[in-house]
Amino acid sequence: MWSFSPWALLPPIYSVLTAAGLWLVYFAAVWEKKIVPLSSQYRRGNGSLYPPYISVAGNFPPVSCFFSEVVNLAAFVGFIISVLRFLQLRHRINKPWLNVSSLVVFSVACFGMTLVGNVQVFTQKMVHNLGTCLTFGLGTLFCWVQSYITLKVNLMNEGKKAAVVRFLLSGSITVCIILYFSLMSQRLHMHAARCQWVLVMLFLVFLSTFAIEFRHYRFYMECRENAGDPVNTTETLSDVSRSGVKEL
């Protein structure tokens, strides 16, 4: 039997599958000759090729359909992970507002992801860019807040080690965002595109680190008939997360 909860598999599987989906979009766009490869030099030339930004790779059909599906699923499962993290910390954190704020921030970031996935950049640039800012901006804020919470709560006496990793990832993500917008402003599109890909991969690595805490916890949802005492499923999840019992 496993010595850890199977919920620990959710964050890394989520990150791996999301990364795989995005890279499939990239390779499909290169195959369709819509973007230039990341390894090449960008020359606009006859106007048929674009720099390999993630959004540009997912802009053209039929790849755009697959891109929308990948991003929508990533936003949904990412939201589920943030809810589980919220429940895990609900009775452990001394500043409940910080936990609630973290959930709200990432929920809005997930909404931004749906805008990125469903509104193509060449169709509605303003709406698409709004989604990008929500995803990257609030996603980065979420990373910093979760790093701080990890250090302060120190679940299972593993918080300090996990916090070091998350602070390093948060710092790297912040540097990438600054570089990305700086390179974009200078129209250095190939460097900006490479920076964007690194940025997204770092986000996914950060989310995968929640497996560290999830491996100690079980999450349940219970459904009962209304004949007896009413059951609050949210409280059921919270009570289980509060117990922090290892799965043997």
Q: What is the per-residue pLDDT for 2?
A: 54
- Residue 203 confidence class, pLDDT cut points 50, 70, 90: very high
Residue 66's alpha-carbon distances to 24, 53, 59, 71, 245, in angstroms, are: 9, 16, 10, 9, 39
Tell me the per-residue pLDDT of 108-133, one tens digit each, with 9 for 90 and over.
Answer: 999 999 999 999 999 899 999 999 99
Mean pLDDT of 198-216: 95
- Residue 48 confidence class, pLDDT cut points 50, 70, 90: low
Q: Is the pLDDT of residue 44 over 90?
A: no
Q: What is the per-residue pLDDT for 151?
A: 93
Tell me the per-residue pLDDT of 78-105, one tens digit each, with 9 for 90 and over.
Answer: 999 999 999 999 988 888 999 999 999 9
Tokens 């979760």 belong to 146
Average per-residue pLDDT for the chain: 87
pTM as predicted:
0.86
Q: Which two tokens stand for residue 19?
A: 């990364």
